[in-house]
Amino acid sequence: MQSKCMAAFDKSGTIKPHTIERREPGPNDVLVKLDYCGVCHSDIHTARSEWGPTMYPCVPGHEMVGHVVKIGKKVKRFKIGEPVGVGCFVDSCGKCKPCKNNEEQFCEVKTVFSYNSTELDNKTPTYGGYASHVTVKDKFVLKVKKGLPLDRVAPLLCAGITTYSPLKRYKAGKGKKVGVVGLGGLGHMAVKLAKAMGAEVTVFSTSPNKEADAKRLGAKHFKVTKDPKVFASVAGTLDLIIDTVSAQHDFTPYLASLKLGATMVLVGVSPDPNSLNAFGLIGGRKVLTGSLIGGIKETQEMLNFCAKKKVFSDIELIAPEKINEAYDRTVASDVKYRFVVDLKTL
């Protein structure tokens, strides 16, 4: 079936109207009429070939929400009209150890990402959520509680799970002090989620004008990192840091903010190498690690947690024709805090 969409055609990343073919639902498929799709910085990097060669035409978007309009004959989990979400990947082998451990994002055979990827046949391209419809295997479709603001739920499918997963893994909660580096699409969700888990949150930002928002979102402390002396006030105090910045920066001063043996997790990805002084790790036995989204089971857990705690993304809703402007504003950090495309106008 044909689906209207918005696509990039070369490394300029310019998004234009296009039409793609979606498969008719097979026995285990769900056809979703998409209502909203978040704009992730990953979309921009991919559309502009900043993370390596992109397969064009490229239809970005992996923060999809909408309603079920058709199901395969073997599908039991979903009903027509039900609100659902689709995140960063749409298939995996299902047989390897990571898949069996509900960590399909680390599939040893092939994680089929929602766009700029190929299906398990290694030939059929995948297209993302800047589109009117998407067809997905039922196992990779997520339930969304009825009555929630779907436009504000959409960014949870990437920004939400990307920050929820390491916060949970490293036990953010009551009595813990969590630092969040950067207050953008990922950062604002990290603040909200850490606060909802019961942690005391410190935000590190280069923008002094974000202090009021940081505290509104749940942060107790705000540190402007343009002044290197600010790090002395938090040295050795934090149990965990979530670094959400997708631009080049030095990790060393943030590591000094950690307690003995504590962990800093990277979830933002800079196209350029970052800086690190090895003594920042050695002195204090610090841990620097990374985290990649979450599996389907954990993503559903995150959606349920957010529904219970009423944690949703702060968004700007835009029409499809405003995506290019949104890309430029995202790069300039001029958004509070996630653009979401209204696909009902596509």
Cα dist from 152 to 26, 81, 237, 315, 340, whole Å? 30, 19, 33, 6, 8
Q: Could you tell me which residues come within 8 angstroms of residue 15 by beta carbon, excluding any fewer than 6 positions away? A: 6, 7, 8, 47, 60, 130, 323, 324, 327
Instruction: Note whether 255 and 323 are same-domain residues.
Output: no
- Number of C-beta neighbours around residue 331 at 10 A: 15
pLDDT of residue 21: 96
154 and 164 assigned to the same domain: no
Cβ-count burial of 95 within 10 angstroms (0-12 exposed, 13-18 middle, 19+ buried)? exposed
Rounded Cα distance, 206 and 209, in Å? 9
- Picking from 259, 290, 321, the residue at the C-terminal end of a domain is 290
Q: Are residues 181 and 215 in the same domain?
A: yes
As for how many domains the chain has, the answer is 2
Query: Do 147 and 253 belong to one domain?
Result: no
Q: What is the CATH number of the domain that holds 219?
A: 3.40.50.720
17-68 residue pLDDT tens: 999 999 999 999 999 999 999 999 999 999 999 988 999 999 999 999 999 9
Among all chains, which residue has been given the structure tokens 């079936």?
1
- If we measure between CA atoms, which residue out of 92, 83, 210, 90 comes closest to residue 154? 83
Residue 333 is predicted with a pLDDT of: 86
3-state class percentages of the chain: helix first, strand second, coil last, to nearest 5? 30, 30, 40
Question: What pLDDT sits at residue 51?
Answer: 87
Three-class SS of residue 137? strand
CATH number of the domain residue 89 falls in: 3.90.180.10
| Whether residues 125 and 18 fall in one domain | yes
Q: Is the pLDDT of residue 228 over 90?
A: no
With CA atoms as reference, report the closest residue to 39 among 344, 343, 346, 247. 343
The answer, yes or no, to whether residue 288 has pLDDT greater than 90, is yes
Residues 128 and 58 both lie in one domain: yes
This prediction's pTM: 0.94
Same domain (yes/no): 164, 241:
yes
For residue 168, give its domain range: 160-290
